[in-house]
Amino acid sequence: MSAIQTIWPPGTECVARYNFPGTTDQDLPLCKGDVLTIIGVTKDPNWYKAKNTVGREGTIPANYVQKREGVKSGGKLSLMPWFHGKITRDQAERLLYPPEMGLFLVRESTNYPGDYTLCVSSEGKVEHYRIIYHNGKLTIDEEAYFENLMQLVEHYTKDADGLCTRLIKPKLMEGTVAAQDEFSRSGWALNRKELKLIQTIGKGEFGDVMVGDYRGTKVAVKCIKHDATAQAFIAEASVMTQMRHNNLVQLLGVIVEEKGSLFIVTEYMAKGSLVDYLRSRGRTVIGGDCLLKFSMDVCEAMEYLEANNFVHRDLAARNVLVSDDNIAKVSDFGLTKEASSTQDTAKLPIKWTSPEALREKKFSTKSDVWSYGILLWEIYSFGRVPYPRIPLKDVVPRVEKGYKMDSPDGCPPAVYDVMKLCWTLEPAMRPSFKALRENLQLIQDKDYL
């Protein structure tokens, strides 16, 4: 074995690249794809002591594992790196030059808006095949029909089936990275064969959320079927690979299927969303100490995001999940971005979004703080919808004039004071999540409840 280049510190997460049956009682057997945590290095630097997900410990060969890294190429990751969007026939032919048998790309059709064109290099020239969109399906010859472009490309990669040649080599759009390659490289690709989908627990416009089993562990799985939607979720998954905190829902891995399906596998949160948890149990079951604990859990997650320069943008009780042992964890990273980026505001939840984010599309940790104040109000009102009895169109004008919601019934004054700090109209005057956590800690320590 060659000496390893760098020694990974304890706590490093890694993935087995190969099977390792183990040769002594001290060894930890590995199956390709196992996720492990490094405990420390042994006397021989070619061997680590590690622990697997069920808590078993032992020694492993260093060159059988790869370090799990955060996926950094967020905006450039593509499920369809061969898709070039709106380019002309001439541009496509230039991109496929010099000619190479089976070199291909897909573009939007310039002559038939809404349709696509498959451009393939064969015997020194480029053939252009119109992809017709018919009854919700895609076809070239009106014999074979496909749900999406990924299925179509996969089919013709295996068999020419009437084309001049089978598709051999994709011409990647400049600046894009194939998502599957990047998730594999960084250690986040899971094996579809080892995932059992058991039952649907939620339906969204993007697809289903299901309970599944991955290697004997109960997991939650977002199943995204449509390639265009899946592309948006790739960005969410890449953000999740960079985060590690006990109060954030943990990503376990990603499965990209050639046919266009995407599975995002996360830890399973048995008690569902915080808003449903609060509504279904109410104040007869949930005491003040539990409400404060949920408030602290979310605040600690947000303090972590703040420290790592991430803005959530959609913080609300519906996007916080509750584990079997009553830990609240922030989820739904669909809108989460690096702190500097802006975003279209058309789909934003008005009652949870800060005035400056709605007005000027300015998102920051401070706009998350505003949303956190609304979430606190949801917690202490046991899941009521914010701004009760105020028509939606009137919420923003009233808030901008300084209106603040009344304290929920039975909410400790000290907690209501925290909410009002979050709803300071001037973003710079709002507290940080670190300051909010310290404030809640004081309330907990003084037992104001």
For residue range 361-373, list pLDDT tens digits in order.
889 999 999 999 9
The answer to whether position 153 is within a domain reads yes
Tell me the C-alpha distance between 269 and 272, whole Å: 6
SS3 category, 126: strand
Q: What is the pLDDT of residue 36?
A: 92
Amino acid identity at 230: A
Say which CATH number the domain at 253 has.
3.30.200.20
pLDDT tens digits, residue range 130-188? Answer: 999 888 899 999 999 998 898 999 999 999 999 999 999 999 998 888 888 889 889 99
Tell me the C-alpha distance between 438 and 445, whole Å: 10
Pair 440, 323 in one domain: yes
Domain that includes residue 94, residue range: 85-170
Domain boundary among 248, 267, 286: 267
Q: How far out from the chain centre does Cα 433 lie? A: 22
Is 222 annotated as belonging to a binding site? yes
Average predicted confidence (pLDDT) for the chain:
90
336-343: long-range contacts (C-beta < 8 A, 24 or more apart)?
336/236, 336/239, 336/305, 336/310, 336/311, 336/312, 337/239, 337/310, 337/311, 337/313, 337/363, 338/309, 338/310, 338/311, 339/309, 339/310, 339/311, 339/363, 339/364, 339/365, 343/313
Pair 276, 258 in one domain: no
The answer to whether position 185 is within a domain reads no
Pair 402, 438 in one domain: yes
Pair 402, 256 in one domain: no
Q: Is the pLDDT of residue 227 over 70?
A: no
Pair 165, 219 in one domain: no
CB of 409 closer than 8 Å to CB of 305? no
pLDDT tens digits, residue range 159-172? Answer: 999 999 999 999 99
**Enzyme catalytic residues:** 314
The answer to whether position 395 is within a domain reads yes
> Could you give the number of structural domains in the chain?
4
The answer to whether position 94 is within a domain reads yes
